[in-house]
């Protein structure tokens, strides 16, 4: 008897396939699942703290530890609270916001980003990093646009894939968010989105599809909003039919924090891991409040009552186990690194390559201190041979305000942050006098997201006095660098709320106008993740779109201002003159931000309905239309042209495009650097149908390539035309179909700056 028992134990131990890192993952998943009790399965699919969920300690299966966010690993928080835990070893490298990454138009930068961020997440022992975000830029008021990759589905798709691939090589799962249609923050928990299948598949889903089918993301985060009357975190159409059945996703769907709203829909709706649910149990039930989650004891009780079997539960657990075996229990998982010199260098490189030079009249940039000094020495009634120290005046709160903090879940505890003022001072050294004046006063908050921002931001002087100080200083300066834009406080670039206006906040427009009236050499550095109105554009010669750039912000901005880095960023979205020039703001509240639903009830008194009536005409797809065609889309006559079109970005050199030729399905052209300095150019390929069989955009981005050229150097680029470039989504067939006929292949430096073209016919 003893011998038989020992043999049985030995056989059981030897059969622990789930612990064998060399065994196929599916075998490990099924073996582990077969050993789990019902309660162990239930515990695995809901949170046990703010950012973790249970493993199975009895079997040696570890917990899942998640962390915000897409731009850096979030500071540790308390077990049951959002407040920071005040650890001393959780400071990190803050990487540029994803708008900046997208603005590089360089997939190699995306891979560099994912690699370095993944190393930091691995060092912090995270299972899942909650990002990247790929929701489409539909309105410039969206408070969370800075976390996304712009208005175009092709650009977002190409830029998200390397990020995920390189991140996951570290054994840390990407969690692509927010699936789907999370295109605004106002009413994000209660808005039911109505959108055509065509717009859904052509505009809002492609980047998610690329993340699944090309990058192989291991997890997806559901969105807060509703689609077709069901919350996205428990939406059968999105999570089962599209994500799993159509795309073949085999990873874990994680709810956004508080995104689950109903137990029975969550059971059948495709959700695998429930986090952050705001149930009464966390407040009114003593003991473990996490047991009150929709997929916790309420689910367990339904199974025990016989209303549900364990089929859905087992599938959820399979998805979570698969996630764990790919990450924490994966073979040869490394140790990562934190705040290394390599990470700082990567953050600076990505930031520098993403900065966009929007305007540079009179070649105000790059700043040449020697030329400024020479000019200063020859000014006045008496010419002197002694070079004078030029004065560089830096104006603006954003020149000194820490901007890695704030914005909601992407708020970071950076080990350091180089401010624009510090970067400019360091670069100028002793060759110029660098002064700073406030110019405008923001909210002056000293704390944000539980972290100190800086008490030095408090300033109680009247706005007129602050403006006068800046104007007087500008009169004496040789060049003025105004560092303004938005910040990451409420109703600006911030999670949970949308912007209240398209204009710059805090009276910045008036300050800029006043400074430009007394000094002809003004550079506006717009720190933001969104477009802003620029009524002063004709008076300010140089404009940089600088984004939220992370730890190395000041160095990267100085690199571009002084010409150490030749700007090569391109806009990932269109900048229109006024808010009413965007189609989402032309058709009333039912298009944005939504109207009260007739389905409101006591449980959901704030339900809203929102209709994406602009359909596929988002961003440049709308801006390209003639006024008559615009009216057909929105019912409103609009003749405005972009201040700066999608794909726009200048350089300190010039590029000459050769004539495009085509052989078969391969388009070839040359690009030459005709300037005096090395530079990078993004070559953009658009496809324009001549006589489409259905309503289509004038043209659509279908490929791009970034090429680096020395002065006088010429390179040949080739683009292969593929069938998917000529397709549209046919709702009747529920499939992409090829639209046969004549097309023009347009190649240029932006959506409006087309340099060469060739004809092509799809037979």
Catalytic residues: 256
The span from the CA of 695 to the CA of 202, in Å, is: 13
667-691 in b/e form (b: 16+ CB < 10 A) is bebebbbebeeebbbbbbbbbbbee
The span from the CA of 699 to the CA of 696, in Å, is: 8
**DSSP calls for 487-543:** -SSTTSS-TT---S-SSPSTTHHHHHHHHHTT-S-EEEEEE-SS----TTGGG--EE
Beta partners for 655? Answer: 673
Contact 472, 391 (CB under 8 A): no
404: tokens are 């890695």
- DSSP 8-state secondary structure symbol assigned to residue 246: I
Length of the chain: 763
Contact 259, 222 (CB under 8 A): yes
Residue 51 in 3-state DSSP? coil
Contact 28, 317 (CB under 8 A): no
C-beta neighbour count of 762 within 10 angstroms: 17
102: tokens are 């997208």
- At what angle are helices 420-428 and 553-561 packed, to 10 degrees? 50
Dmax of the chain from CA atoms?
A: 112
337: tokens are 């690194």
636: tokens are 């409103």
Residue whose token pair is 């010199």 = 341
Residue 94 in 3-state DSSP? coil
* Phi, psi values for residue 479, rounded to 5°: -155, 145
- DSSP 8-state secondary structure symbol assigned to residue 92: B
The span from the CA of 559 to the CA of 568, in Å, is: 12
The span from the CA of 157 to the CA of 208, in Å, is: 8
Q: How far apart are the first and last CA of the chain?
A: 78
The span from the CA of 648 to the CA of 152, in Å, is: 14
C-beta neighbour count of 317 within 10 angstroms: 23
Residue 638 in 3-state DSSP? coil
Give the helix/strand (H/E) hosting 208.
Answer: helix 206-213
Residue whose token pair is 């009236």 = 517
Sequence-distant (6+) residues with CB within 8 A of 246 are none
Chain Cα centroid distance, residue 221 = 14
Contact 314, 272 (CB under 8 A): no
Contact 449, 512 (CB under 8 A): no
723: tokens are 């069938």
* Phi, psi values for residue 98, rounded to 5°: -65, -25
């Amino acid at each position: 008897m003893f011998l038989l028992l020992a043999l049985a134990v030995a056989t059981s131990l030897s059969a622990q396939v789930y612990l064998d890192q060399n065994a196929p993952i599916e075998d490990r998943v099924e073996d582990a699942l077969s050993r789990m009790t019902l309660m162990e399965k239930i515990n695995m699919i809901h949170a046990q703290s703010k950012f973790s969920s249970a493993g199975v300690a009895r079997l040696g299966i570890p917990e899942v530890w998640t962390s915000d966010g897409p731009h850096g690993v979030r500071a540790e928080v308390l077990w049951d609270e959002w407040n920071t835990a005040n650890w001393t070893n959780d400071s990190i490298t803050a990487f540029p916001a994803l708008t900046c990454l997208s603005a590089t138009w360089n997939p190699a930068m995306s891979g560099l980003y994912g690699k370095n961020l993944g190393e930091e997440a691995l060092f912090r022992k995270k299972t899942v990093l909650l990002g990247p975000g790929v929701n489409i830029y539909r309105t410039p008021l969206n408070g969370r646009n800075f976390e996304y990759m712009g208005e175009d589905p092709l650009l977002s798709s190409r830029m998200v894939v390397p990020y995920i691939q390189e991140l996951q090589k570290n054994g840390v799962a990407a969690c692509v968010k927010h699936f789907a249609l999370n295109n605004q923050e106002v009413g994000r928990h209660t808005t039911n989105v109505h959108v055509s299948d065509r717009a859904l598949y052509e505009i809002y889903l492609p980047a998610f599809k690329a993340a699944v089918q090309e990058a192989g993301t291991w997890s997806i985060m559901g969105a807060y909003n509703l689609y077709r009357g069901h919350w996205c975190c428990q939406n059968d159409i999105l999570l089962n039919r599209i994500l799993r059945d159509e795309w073949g996703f085999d990873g874990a769907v994680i709810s956004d924090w508080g995104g689950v709203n109903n137990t029975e829909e969550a059971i059948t709706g495709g959700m695998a891991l429930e986090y952050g649910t705001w149930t009464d149990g966390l407040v009114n039930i003593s003991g473990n409040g996490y047991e009150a989650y929709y997929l916790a004891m309420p689910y367990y009780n339904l199974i025990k009552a016989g209303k549900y079997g364990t089929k859905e539960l087992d599938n959820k657990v399979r998805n979570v186990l698969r996630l764990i075996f790919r990450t924490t229990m994966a073979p040869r998982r490394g140790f990562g690194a934190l705040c290394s010199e390599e990470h700082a260098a990567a953050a600076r490189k990505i930031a520098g390559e993403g900065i966009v030079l929007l305007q540079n009249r009179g070649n105000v940039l790059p700043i040449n201190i020697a030329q400024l000094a020479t000019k200063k020495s020859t000014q006045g009634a008496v010419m002197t041979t002694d070079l004078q120290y030029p004065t560089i005046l830096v104006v603006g709160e954003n020149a000194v305000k820490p901007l890695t903090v704030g914005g909601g879940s992407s708020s970071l505890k950076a080990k350091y942050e180089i401010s624009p003022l510090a970067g400019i001072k360091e670069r100028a050294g002793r060759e110029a006098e660098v002064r700073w004046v406030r110019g405008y006063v923001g909210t002056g908050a000293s704390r944000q997201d539980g972290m100190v921002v800086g008490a030095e931001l408090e300033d109680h002087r009247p706005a007129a006095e602050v403006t006068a100080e800046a104007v007087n200083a500008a009169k004496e300066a040789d060049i003025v660098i105004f560092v303004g834009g938005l910040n990451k406080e409420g109703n600006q670039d911030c999670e949970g709320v949308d912007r209240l206006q398209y204009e710059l906040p805090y009276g910045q427009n008036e300050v800029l106008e006043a400074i430009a009236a007394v000094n002809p050499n003004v550079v506006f550095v717009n720190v933001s993740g969104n477009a802003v109105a620029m009524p002063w554009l004709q008076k300010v010669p140089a404009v940089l779109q600088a984004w939220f750039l992370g730890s190395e912000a000041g160095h990267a901005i100085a690199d571009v201002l002084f010409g150490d880095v030749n700007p090569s960023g391109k806009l990932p979205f269109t900048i229109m003159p006024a808010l009413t020039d965007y189609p989402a703001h032309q058709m009333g509240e039912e298009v944005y931000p939504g109207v009260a639903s007739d389905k409101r009830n006591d449980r959901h008194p704030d339900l809203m309905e929102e209709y994406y009536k602009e359909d596929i005409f988002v961003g440049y797809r709308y801006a390209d239309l003639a006024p008559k065609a615009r009216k057909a889309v929105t019912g409103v006559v609009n003749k405005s042209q972009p201040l700066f079109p999608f794909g726009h970005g200048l350089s300190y050199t010039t590029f000459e495009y050769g004539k495009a030729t085509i052989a078969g399905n391969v388009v070839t052209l040359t690009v030459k650097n005709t300037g005096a300095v090395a530079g990078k150019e993004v070559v953009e390929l658009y496809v324009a149908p001549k006589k489409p069989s259905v309503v289509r955009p004038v043209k659509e981005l279908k490929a791009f390539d970034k090429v680096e050229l020395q002065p006088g150097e010429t390179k040949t680029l080739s683009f292969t035309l593929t069938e998917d470039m000529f397709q549209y989504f046919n709702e009747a067939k529920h499939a992409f179909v090829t639209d046969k006929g004549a097309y023009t292949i347009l190649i240029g430096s932006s959506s409006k700056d087309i340099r060469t073209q060739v004809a092509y016919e799809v037979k």
